[in-house]
Structure 1
Amino acid sequence: MTISSSLNAGVAGLAANASRLATISDNIANSNTYGYKRAETDFHSMVLSNGTGTYSAGGVRVTSQRLIDQPGSLLTTSNSTDLAVRGRGFLPVTTEASIGLNAGEHPFRLATTGSFRTDSQGYLRSDTGMVLMGWPAAADGSVPTFPRDTSDGLEPIQINVNQFAGEPTTRMNLGVNLPATETEVGADGEALELSVEYFDNLGTSQNVLVTYTPDVPATGAATNRWNMTLRDSAQGNAVIGEYTLQFDDSRGSGGTLDSVTTISGGAYSNTTGSFEVNVAGGPIDITIGGLNSGTGITQLSDNFAPTQITKDGSPVGNMISVDVDPNGFVHANFDIGITRTVYQIPLVDLPNPNGLIALDNQTYRTSNESGSFFLWDASDGPTGDVVGFALEESTTDVAGELTQLIQTQRAYSSNAKVIQTVDEMLQETTNIKR
């Protein structure tokens, strides 16, 4: 029995080292594969008896494990949608085949890195057919609340490269100098006009026509008072606000606003130096400056001149690029200088990443051993962040694998020698009978 157990142990040793050779071969073959996680084979002895008499060899058994939680170094690339997770967490992906089925449900896969580019339908897809998933943003760029313990809210990220976008004007700053001589006796009293462009909700150019009418006295000192009227071109030049501006003529504060009286339109706020008017597309906050501040509207000298006219908003523009920030937000960039959030990519975390089931193309599937997953915002909780223009390199250490290859070869040869020796001993036993 002792001789046969030695034979069995030798055979088990050959099988164990063959398994170890397989993992080494896989690791070396994927030493340049982005996102590859090296596999490791461990040996465990099998003991059949511990008595003081004859000893029976139990042999050896092997267990193999893929070290998925082991991070690889990051390599810089030139593609903004080459993504890698720096730290803990996985990117949610699905298969290209499931999108073609239009079944509404997509298999949930995990990856630590991927080179994604838009395909003919605008999906962010890798060369291996994996499609990046995320939560869709609303039209205003905000991301609604989605469940975090299920993948039901995730959608394949689809970028419309022919997408147009514009930003309506919501704020305007009117910095103007009004001529002080126009409120003196004998002035002609002609209104001064200023047209300021704004963009409506459809990105169309409209105008707010601002008229400054001086209050000219018949006799006496200058009134230093103006009537400001605002009209909206989108409403047929209807009046949207009317205000009386009184300027200070005292030493130290001369030319600054002394008071603003609201006749129609939104009330003037001295705290912000602004008021709100309603154009055809909605409210616009117009800043003319605070009282006695010297900013915004002034009344100095005899010149009428805009000093600082600014506004937000933009006309309609074309999308020119897409990038992903460290928090996982996918931004569409337009040629008019605006950026709009279109998706958010969460990071998936599990209690035991090494318990995931490894699939093709460096992707993984959850299992009972990996535990339940949770979708985190990138850089929140235990997860790391998302790095654009980067790919995760293979975790294979070629020098270490070659060292193990030599050890495995020697161990395999030694086990083969044991089998050869046992065979010779059995031959001797057979010869005794002769």
Structure 2
Amino acid sequence: MTISSSLNAGVSGLAANASALATISDNIANSSTYGYKRVVADFHSMVIDSNNGTYSAGGVRVTTNRLIDEPGALLSTSSSTDLAVRGRGFLPVTTESDVRTENGDEKMLLATTGSFRTDEDGILRTESGLVLLGWPASADGTIPDYPRDSSDGLEPVQINMNQFAGEPTENISLGVNLPATETEFDGTGETLTLPIEYFDNLGRSQTLTVTFSPTLPAAAGDPATNTWTMQMTDSASTGEVLADFDLTFADSRTAGGTLFNVADNGGATTATAPTFDSTTGILTVHVAGGPIEIDIGAYGDATGMTQLSDSFAPTAIFKDGSPVGNMTSVEIDANGYVLANFDIGITRVVYQIPLVDLPNANGLDALDNQTYATSEQSGSFFLWNAGDGPTGDIVSYALEESATDVAGELTDLIQTQRACSSNAKVIQTVDEMLQETTNIKR
């Protein structure tokens, strides 16, 4: 009966607008919730076949959809572990309860922002119990090749602020000027000593002692030899000679004072003999902790070791490595690398946080605390390096604000209220018409 269909249509209109009102209420309630994605209600008409000059109202049905791919504005904060995704992609997270089970099988969830802080175990987590996931770095700071279509390689990001770190010395640049007057017949023949500090594999300070002994001419009137014997000894192994070389310098007009020839005297007592590459100017010696490459300059190179004038002057000595230091802070860069800063001035990569991308972000299942889980509608995920492929980057010192537009929601609230009133009026009118119909029999 068409009157009854009108009543049903009015009831369905009230129910649909009640659902719309619920989405608006949820959006307004979460207008200050970081990372919240607003929900919209879509109305769809229902048509019933009509014939014989009559029309039956089909009513309306409603579907709701969360706009997960709609970003909110970014808000600056003062914490380096406040993270937000700028652009496409999601942060991999899990729940604290999954981590506490210690079965190593944390379920990966997705989030676009989070205020992470270290707990009593050093794990980065939010106040709501979300734990940040990442790939752990190797001891040398590189990230191994983890699977990109699986979360198997991900583990909770754990920061140990009591961690110590040091870097052994592997490279030394030796810029020294030797006095040309000392290789003449009236030279003093004095041995010149140059101690150089380096750091071993345990971060301990050791000393590489370099001695330069001039070779004097055999007789008065003979030209200067321009030759020095260079020996290196290591404080870590007393008495052991790392290298024993003769250095000869050029005296030509164009290359005067630069290295002309380097010859191994064979006086080294280490198990592995030192080597010299005349093309690069690298002298490789072997200390207890491994090889150290010492750049003394290639042949004809005026920036390495020289023999000029009458002064002994270490002009430029540089080395890498550092003593042991304490971790002072943690930062996360735009590519998702978790960087540990130490008080000795070094920075070390300890984790990498990938970004998760899916074909249909709006197909994700929405969960509590602004997290999402993959579903058949979302498609399979892939783990990208932040900033690569279709993904955006990670912004630290920032949180993503709610995507709710309060002004727009209030406008929708007025429209929904009017629609509810109109549907209620339809029901009231149908009720009056049915009452008149029943009164016909009286």
The verdict on a shared fold, with TM-score over 0.5 as the criterion, is yes
Is 1:72 the counterpart of 2:77 in the alignment? no
Q: How does 1:117-266 map to 2 (within 5 A)?
A: 117-219=117-219, 220-264=222-266, 265-266=273-274
C-alpha displacement of 1:251 = 2.4
SS in 2 for 1:268: strand
Q: How does 1:359-370 map to 2 (within 5 A)?
A: 359-370=367-378
C-alpha displacement of 1:270 = 2.6
Is 1:96 the counterpart of 2:87 in the alignment? no
In structure 1, which of residues 401, 404, 410 is the aligned counterpart of residue 409 of structure 2?
A: 401
SS in 2 for 1:409: helix
Residue identity in the other structure for 2:16? A
Contact residue 232 and residue 280 of structure 1 kept, 8 A: no
SS in 1 for 2:302: coil
* TM-score normalised according to structure 1 size: 0.98
Residue identity in the other structure for 1:226? W
Query: Which residue does 1:376 correspond to in 2?
Result: 384
C-alpha displacement of 1:299 = 1.2
- Residues 248-289 of structure 1, C-alpha deviations (whole Å, 9 max, x = no match): 223233222121112344332232222111111001110111
Q: Which moved more, 1:249-258 or 1:299-308?
A: 249-258
Mapped partners of 1:91, 1:198: distance in 2: 41
Q: How does 1:225-374 map to 2 (within 5 A)?
A: 225-264=227-266, 265-374=273-382
Mapped partners of 1:57, 1:254: distance in 2: 104
Contact residue 275 and residue 285 of structure 2 kept, 8 A: no
C-alpha displacement of 1:104 = 1.8
Mapped partners of 1:24, 1:271: distance in 2: 73
Query: Which residue does 2:269 correspond to in 1?
Result: none
Contact residue 182 and residue 214 of structure 1 kept, 8 A: yes
Residue identity in the other structure for 2:224? A
Residue identity in the other structure for 1:270? S
Q: Which moved more, 1:172-181 or 1:59-68?
A: 172-181
Mapped partners of 1:163, 1:51: distance in 2: 81
- Residues 33-85 of structure 1, C-alpha deviations (whole Å, 9 max, x = no match): 11110000000000011435211111000000000011112112111111111
- Residues 64-119 of structure 1, C-alpha deviations (whole Å, 9 max, x = no match): 00000111121121111111111111100001112222122112110011111111
Q: Which moved more, 1:94-103 or 1:309-318?
A: 94-103
Residue identity in the other structure for 1:364? Y
Query: Which residue does 1:415 correspond to in 2?
Result: 423
Mapped partners of 1:261, 1:52: distance in 2: 113
- Residues 292-326 of structure 1, C-alpha deviations (whole Å, 9 max, x = no match): 22212111222112111110000001111111111
Residue identity in the other structure for 2:282? S
- Residues 347-377 of structure 1, C-alpha deviations (whole Å, 9 max, x = no match): 1111111111101110001111111111111
C-alpha displacement of 1:392 = 1.1
SS in 1 for 2:301: coil
Residue identity in the other structure for 1:202? L
Mapped partners of 1:404, 1:269: distance in 2: 77
C-alpha displacement of 1:218 = 2.8
Contact residue 335 and residue 393 of structure 2 kept, 8 A: yes
Mapped partners of 1:50, 1:259: distance in 2: 105
Mapped partners of 1:242, 1:357: distance in 2: 70
Gaps of 5+ in 2: 267-272
- Residues 360-412 of structure 1, C-alpha deviations (whole Å, 9 max, x = no match): 11000111111111111111221111111111111111111111110000000
Mapped partners of 2:337, 2:257: distance in 1: 48
Residue identity in the other structure for 2:196? V
Residue identity in the other structure for 1:13? G
Q: Which moved more, 1:355-364 or 1:242-251?
A: 242-251
Is 1:388 the counterpart of 2:396 in the alignment? yes
Mapped partners of 2:51, 2:280: distance in 1: 92
SS in 1 for 2:207: strand
Contact residue 189 and residue 214 of structure 2 kept, 8 A: yes
Mapped partners of 2:342, 2:275: distance in 1: 36
> What is the CA RMSD across the aligned residues, in angstroms?
1.2
Contact residue 251 and residue 257 of structure 2 kept, 8 A: yes
Mapped partners of 1:42, 1:126: distance in 2: 34
- Residues 18-44 of structure 1, C-alpha deviations (whole Å, 9 max, x = no match): 000000111111111111100000000
- Residues 322-360 of structure 1, C-alpha deviations (whole Å, 9 max, x = no match): 111111111111111111111111111111111111011
Mapped partners of 1:51, 1:377: distance in 2: 61
Residue identity in the other structure for 1:237? G
Contact residue 268 and residue 275 of structure 1 kept, 8 A: yes
Mapped partners of 1:246, 1:19: distance in 2: 91
- Residues 109-159 of structure 1, C-alpha deviations (whole Å, 9 max, x = no match): 100111111111100111111000011111011111111111111101101
Identical pairs, percent = 69
Alignment coverage as a number of residue pairs: 434
Contact residue 38 and residue 403 of structure 2 kept, 8 A: yes
* TM-score normalised according to structure 2 size: 0.96
Mapped partners of 1:153, 1:300: distance in 2: 58
Q: Which moved more, 1:355-364 or 1:367-376?
A: 367-376
